[in-house]
Amino acid sequence: MNINELVFIDECDHHVVVMSEVVRLLQSYRQMYYGSTEAGGVLIGERRGQHIVVTDISVPGPGDIRSRNRFERKGDHHQQKVYELFKQSDGFLVYLGEWHTHPEDFPQPSYTDIKSWLTGLIATEPMVLLIVGRKGEWLGLKNGNDIKSIKEKNR
Instruction: Enumerate the β-bridge partners of residue 45.
Output: 54, 94
Q: What are phi and psi of 6, to 5 degrees?
A: -100, 135
User: How many Cβ atoms from other residues are within 10 Å of residue 122's Cβ?
Assistant: 11
Residues belonging to the active site:
38
Which amino acid would we find at residue 84?
E
Decide: helix, strand or coil at residue 113.
Answer: helix
| CB-based burial label for 105 (10 Å; 0-12, 13-18, 19+) | exposed
Query: What is the rounded distance in angstroms from the CA atom of residue 3 to the CA atom of residue 41?
Result: 20
